[in-house]
Amino acid sequence: MYAISLGEDGAELRPLEPWHAEEFLAHLERGREFINRFVPFGSRAVDVASAREALQRYTDWRAADTASLHGLWLDGRLVGGVLFLNFDAAQGNCEVGCWLEPAATGRGLVTRAMRVLIDHAVLDRGIHRVEWNAATGNTASLNVARRLGMNRDGVQRESYLHHGERLDMEIWSVLAPEWRAARQRDGRGDR
């Protein structure tokens, strides 16, 4: 399978598949509390079997062309990932997301990986609108949206119930013409 280098620091973007279940579970255990502060990602993966089931769901969704999961490895260790939560090629819309364990924060991994994902969506698949949703208090996630050149579309007030608390969700997006123009400005329009 593929491994896309994300820079000289040993970071790679790779598919995250059911055969990674043990590694995925170990990664979640290292970062579960941190990861689940704003989203319940991986919360049902509590043993190897349930981790494999979670990864299999995304593998099935990737086969159906409706979602996909990609791991971030740093020096050969799974430390997080990026994903298409919703992918609708017919409508030209997708939603992207991410997660990261604490030891891997502050390195720009998510921003670098997300550029690869958005390039694929816009340049290869013809997606017109890429959306990013994050809780208002999730500053790190919102900062990634800003670094990617996304625009804040609005806030869905108290729309997300998490850990018994209603959170405001910010909706950010970038449109294909905006993405292409930004990639041209930074010299990567043709990849």
Residue 68 lies inside a defined structural domain of this protein: yes
Question: Cα torsion at 180, 182, 188, 191 (round to 10°)?
Answer: -30
Residues 113-138, buried b or exposed e (16+ Cβ, 10 A)? bbbbbbbbbbbeeebebbbbbbbeeb
Domain of residue 48, residue span? 4-185
Cα of 49 vs its chain's centroid, Å: 23
Residue 64 lies inside a defined structural domain of this protein: yes
Residue 149 lies inside a defined structural domain of this protein: yes
Rg (CA), the chain: 16
Per-residue pLDDT of the chain (191 residues; tens, 9 = 90+): 678 999 888 899 999 999 999 999 999 999 989 988 888 888 889 999 999 999 999 999 999 999 999 999 999 999 999 999 999 999 999 999 999 999 999 999 999 999 999 999 999 999 999 999 999 999 999 999 999 999 999 999 999 998 889 999 999 999 999 999 998 887 765 54
Residue 136 lies inside a defined structural domain of this protein: yes
Q: What is the CATH number of the domain that holds 124?
A: 3.40.630.30
Residue 191 lies inside a defined structural domain of this protein: no
pTM greater than 0.85: yes
Number of domains in the chain: 1
Residue 119 lies inside a defined structural domain of this protein: yes
Task: Find where tokens 């740093």 sit.
Answer: 74
Residue 2's pLDDT is: 79
Residue 190 lies inside a defined structural domain of this protein: no
Residue 56 lies inside a defined structural domain of this protein: yes
Which two three-digit tokens encode residue 96? 């992207």
Q: How far apart are CA 69 and CA 60, in angstroms?
A: 11
